[in-house]
Structure 1
Amino acid sequence: MASLHPILQADNVQKTFGAVRALNAVSFAVERGEIRALCGENGAGKSTLVKLLTGVHRPDSGEILVDGKPRHYRSPRDSQADGIAFVSQELSIVPHLSILDNIWLGHRGVPFLYRRQMLRRKAVEALKVVGLDTLPLNTMAGTLALGERQLLEIARMFARDARVFLLDEPTATLSDGEIIRVFDALRRLRQSGRSIIFITHRLAEVFDICDTVTVLRNGSLVTHAKVADMDREQLVELMLGRPLGQMYPSAAGSSGGTVLEIEGLRIPGHVANLTFEARAGQVVCLSGQIGSGAGEAVRAIAGLVYDVQGTVRVRGKRLPAGSVASALGANVRFVSEDRARDGIFLTLPVRTNLVATQLDQVGRAGLVSRRAISERSRAVCERVGIDPARLDSRADELSGGNQQKIAVGRSLTDQAFGVLLMNEPTRGVDVGARAEIYALMRRVCEQGYCIVMMSTDIEEVAGMADVVITLYRGQQVGCYSRPDISRSRILADITHTAAARGAA
């Protein structure tokens, strides 16, 4: 007989941190065999709710229930015993261990001599659910593609009898082909009666894979609804509390002269022969799946790849290959897809981050002026749309969208022209902040820059790009300008699918 209670439930939970109320009387439930999206801007309360459901934090009031029975978790170990599994955006796979070792690593139920036939059989069953059953169990996890590691992470939780999977941005770093494999695995989990809580900033995925959606805003519950009963615009409005308006701002009526010329760019093992140009005021997007060479090409233009061949010209002047100094001298600036690693200084104040790349503007003879730092940082704040009241805050205290604004702001100069290179410009950024980033990119173009970006988000590519260059396994496939840019055509090129091309 089916249970009358949801498998996992939060009833009227509340949580505060100091003076900040992170959750305000929120109720939430997920049924057996359901994929439920959990949506909201950064700061909406999603992470806090997940930490309550998994035992990281305890609610100040209200309760967590499993199968209708109250639970008082003291640690994540308690929630894991109830079959609740959390898969973080930062995967915990150990690359130097085998698939089998990764599946059972850290599981309390495994004896010291654990290589028993039963555990091997159970591992194979879990791998079959996620579509990795063709891989030998002794395969080193470090040899797997990113998408396969994500699937392995899900398989290890399935092998441990998880009943509820909480997935935080599971597709953020995956190619379109890998996303399809992950979605296929999630559907098989749903068919087996497992429940999935799916957290994503890519709203198209909510409509692709989820049955229901819960929306939080400012720590409060906004709605529970069936995905089939709403459209994207309604979901965005529920998340923001206001109409979004136009997500992708219109380009300027006409572009200026040629700023960047790329001819015969080659990177051994990554890019075969890439040729294109970018004009002032344009957004040019290199579109391809992970492994297509698009990201490496953008880094090469910035001078960050040393075994590159071909010609890079800025305003007609050729730049030496693999020279960061020459690129900076030509006002070519790069914004990384990994803000935490090489985009900003997370533990330093916003003020310091904004002027760190512009010390020549705030000092003389090796000495910096506090007044100049203050004036410069405030000017950059105004330019990129950061609240000046946050200048003394540490960068890691800001949302992903504001961190990305820091990364862009510190890259801009006062020169009348320039090249801004961006890899995955809105990775980890919520829907409201995405619209702000897109508007900022257009303002940068209006100042005389051209932008060359790489993105694996096809919707973003089609919405922002004035010119799209498609790549597949290092080869340039197509080049499209508005109004000939379409999602179906881009998808056909980057997946090299003849049938999709015919449909386009």
Structure 2
Amino acid sequence: MNNIVNEEILRLENINKAFSGVQVLHNINVSIHRGEVLGLLGENGAGKSTLLKIISGLHEATSGNVYLDNKQINIKKPSDAKKYGIAMIPQEFNLVSSLNVFENVFLGQELKKGRLLDKNSMRQRTQALLNQLETHLDPDSLIETLSVAEKQMVEIAKALVNQASILIMDEPTTVLTNQEVGVLFELIAKLKAQGVTIIFISHKLKEVKLLCDRLMILRDGHLVSIEPVINLDEEDMASKMVGRELNQIFPEHSQVSKDIALQVEQLNIDNLIENIEFKVHRGEVLGFAGLIGSGRTEMAEAVMGLRKKSSGKIKVFDQEVIINTVKDAVDHGLAYLSEDRQGSGLIMNFNLPENISLISLKKYIKGFIQHKQTRQTAEQYSQQFAIKAPSLDSELQFLSGGNQQKVYLAKWMDTQPDILILDEPTRGVDINTKKDIYHFIHTLTEQGKAVIIISSEMEELIGLAHRVLVIREGKIAGQLSGADIEEQKIMFLRRWR
């Protein structure tokens, strides 16, 4: 962390924002310095993404003024922000699946040679950006073929293509490997040295402490504080975000039953996973660790009927079952939260009742859809999970990432599952929402349900799991349980064994 440059580049005065009469930002005033990394913290629903969308032209402020280099500017659409040198890497991807990488990087700002697209120049410039990011992505790869982490790198390349003077990063590291995070941090240091201002949102307090010069903390749409990061430790950050001291994040472990809820035998997917075998009992949290691309997600997709397996048996409560589709899995009491809630879990222009009843819709049909019942159910889950939304009719795209994740969890709970597979269940959510999800998982296990957690966060696996299986290159590299579930042992198994 370098010394903060005190020259102001951007100033926000009395920024207010309301949606459908509901106030989400209240008189935000902040001066942002040239060449600093300003961290932005707050619980999900605190107003962080809304504020950044105002700066980047995705939303208009209800009232207030924005100044760039001490001159008032009007940002009404993303092209205005781009004109002023402001670029944003969004939390949720904004990519066209049917286009390739270089076409997405230059989407809306294509290079031309005469009247024709200059594809060679766009391809070459994209390759240069990908080299800068130290990723092996091919500029000609289709977006629909990429992993979540690879899509994140494309979003970063999109933001870098115009050499912005203000770069907004909304949860850029949540799906990246440790190596990719290291590359990103090196890139941020280089940009900062060039005088680029970075506004950085993250729920990972350790990386905020490491990376940022100052921290701006929002709570319920109000500015709580803005101060040098050196003045704050992680406990200070957490308590300022939630307005109170946080008690124990992880609950006690439930008692594990002898009854086996799910058993997988000799599961194979050609060229992806080999001879995966495991059991999970009633009341147990079984963790899966492994690097991105190790086969963790592919395994879960095969169990859920989302991916074709080449061989293998699945038993539910000692009965062998055939699962070829998601419907088969749901019929046998399985549920699956995928790591990409927006891409394959929720429909962003649907409201809460419509999303929550997506899979369980059949039980609400009596000749026609019983909309009153779907709304009652959505209201119940909204209270149970403390979902913050202007109303039940709010489209999911207007909810924060953490509240979207709660809706996603509610959608699957409405199928009344006995076995839950949760793939990166707390990706992109704040520390208090994490605590809520962890304690809800404990409630599930206390009810005798079996839970499988796939996670890249060591603390999450150590704090929640009764046992941890480590997958490496498509195979089970080892198992840890009890006091042996330690970060060093997990890292050793996932990299070397």
8 Å contact 2:290–2:472 — kept in the other structure?
Answer: yes
Say which is worse superposed, 404-413 or 17-26, in terms of deviation: 404-413
Which moves more between the two structures, 55-64 or 250-259? 55-64
**Which amino acid in structure 1 is aligned with residue 170 of structure 2?**
D
Q: Distance in 2 between matches of 1:360 and 1:150?
A: 36
Tell me if structure 1 keeps the 8 A contact 2:468–2:480. yes
Label 1:316 to 1:97 Cα distance change in 2 as closer, same or farther (>3 A). closer
> Match for 1:223: what amino acid?
S
Q: Does 1:411 align with 2:426?
A: no
Correspondence for 1:479: 479
Partners of 2:407 and 2:443 lie apart in 1 by 15
Q: Is 2:97 aligned against 1:89?
A: no
The answer as to whether partners of 2:388 and 2:399 remain within 8 angstroms in 1 is no
Aligned amino acid, residue 445 of structure 2: C
Matches within 5 A, 1:259-338: 259-322=261-324, 324-338=326-340
The alignment-based identity, stated in percent, is 31
Q: Distance in 1 between matches of 2:354 and 2:179?
A: 40
Q: Distance in 2 between matches of 1:353 and 1:96?
A: 25
Structure 1 residues 234, 301: closer, same or farther in 2, change over 3 A? Answer: same
| CA distance in structure 2 between the partners assigned to 1:55 and 1:280 by the alignment | 49
Query: Compared with structure 1, are the counterparts of its residues 222 and 414 closer, same or farther at alpha carbon in structure 2 (3 Å cutoff)?
Result: closer
Q: Give the Cα separation in 2 of the matches to 1:380 and 1:229.
A: 39
Computing the radius of gyration from Cα coordinates, the structure with the larger value is: 1
CA distance 1:86–1:27, change in 2 (3 Å): same
Q: Which residue of 2 aligns with 1:257?
A: 259
C-alpha distance in structure 1 between counterparts of 2:120 and 2:301, whole Å = 47
Query: Contact 2:168–2:198 at 8 Å: present in 1 too?
Result: yes
Given that residues 129 and 155 in structure 1 are in contact (C-alpha distance below 8 angstroms), is that contact kept between their aligned partners in structure 2? no
Tell me how far apart the structure 1 counterparts of residues 94 and 356 of structure 2 sit (CA, whole Å): 33
Instruction: Please list, as runs of the form range in 1=range in 2, the aligned pairs for 1:441-460 lying within 5 A after superposition.
Output: 441-460=441-460
User: Is the 2:256–2:282 contact (alpha carbons within 8 Å) kept by the matching residues of 1?
Assistant: no
**Superposition map of 1:103-502 within 5 A:** 104-107=106-109, 112=114, 129-131=132-134, 139-140=140-141, 142=143, 147=149, 150-322=152-324, 324-344=326-346, 346-347=348-349, 350-351=352-353, 353-354=355-356, 357-358=359-360, 398-412=399-413, 418-494=418-494, 496=495
Number of equivalenced pairs: 492
Q: CA deviation at 1:419?
A: 1.1
* TM-score in terms of structure 1 length: 0.83
Assess if the C-alpha contact under 8 Å between 1:461 and 1:468 holds in 2.
yes
Distance 1:397 1:53, change over 3 A: closer
Tell me the SS of whatever aligns to 1:51. Answer: helix
Distance 1:51 1:403, change over 3 A: closer
Moved more, 464-473 or 112-121: 112-121
**Is the Cα contact below 8 Å between 2:112 and 2:118 reproduced in 1?**
no
Mean CA deviation greater in 336-345 or 384-393: 384-393
- State which drifts further: 420-429 or 110-119: 110-119
Q: CA deviation at 1:349?
A: 5.2
Which residue identity lines up with residue 222 of structure 1 in the other structure?
A: V
Instruction: Supply the distance in 2 between the matched residues of 1:97 and 1:357 (Cα, whole angstroms).
Output: 29
Structure 2 CA distance, aligned partners of 1:244 and 1:268?
46
By how many angstroms is 1:392 displaced?
6.2
SS for the counterpart of 1:252 is coil
Shift of the alpha carbon at 1:478?
Answer: 1.9
Say which SS state the counterpart of residue 436 (structure 1) adopts: helix
Partner of 1:44: helix, strand, or coil?
A: coil
Task: With the length of structure 2 as denominator, give the TM-score of the two structures.
Answer: 0.84
The 3 A distance-change label for structure 1 pair 256 and 22 is same
Matched letter for residue 67 of structure 2: L
Match of 2:42 in 1: 40
SS at match of 2:412: coil
Instruction: Give SS of 1:7's match.
Output: strand
Question: CA-to-partner distance for each residue in 1:107-155, whole Å, 9 max, x for gaps?
Answer: 48976478699999977775564346x888x654657765455445444
- Could you list the per-position Cα deviations for residues 181-237 of structure 1 after superposition, in whole angstroms to 9, with x for gaps in the alignment? 222222222233222111123333313432321111121111112323322222111
State whether residues 262 and 313 of structure 1, in contact with CA within 8 Å, keep that contact through their aligned partners in structure 2: yes
Q: Secondary structure at the match of 2:40?
A: strand
Partners of 2:87 and 2:164 within 8 A in 1: yes
* 2:30 corresponding residue in structure 1: 28
In the alignment, structure 2 segments of 5+ residues that lack a partner are none
Asked if the contact 1:93/1:141 (under 8 Å) is kept, the reply is: no
Deviation at 1:338, TM superposition (A): 3.4
Shift of 1:95: 6.9
* Aligned partner letter, 1:473: E
Residues 311, 212 of structure 1: CA spacing in aligned structure 2 closer, same or farther, 3 A cutoff?
same
CA RMSD in angstroms comes to: 3.8
Per-residue deviation, 1:272: 1.3
Q: What are structure 1's unaligned runs of at least 5 residues? A: 499-504
Are the counterparts in 2 of residues 401 and 437 from structure 1 also a CA contact under 8 Å?
no
Label 1:256 to 1:404 Cα distance change in 2 as closer, same or farther (>3 A): farther
Hey, what's the Cα distance between the residues in 2 that align with 1:396 and 1:122? 32
Aligned partner letter, 1:281: G
Distance in structure 2 (CA, Å) of the matches to 1:24 and 1:155: 33
Q: Is the 8 A contact 1:400 1:428 kept in 2?
A: yes
Aligned to 2:79: 77
Larger mean Cα displacement after TM superposition, 426-435 or 35-44: 426-435
User: How far is 1:174 from its partner?
Assistant: 2.6
Deviates more, 1:439-448 or 1:331-340: 331-340
Tell whether the 8 Å contact from 1:10 to 1:28 is kept in structure 2 after alignment.
Answer: yes
Counterparts of 1:344 and 1:122 in 2: how far apart (Å)? 34
Kindly tell me: are residues 476 and 25 of structure 1, through their superposed partners in 2, closer, same or farther at Cα, counting changes over 3 Å?
same
User: Relative to structure 2, which stretch is displaced further, 177-186 or 2-11?
Assistant: 2-11
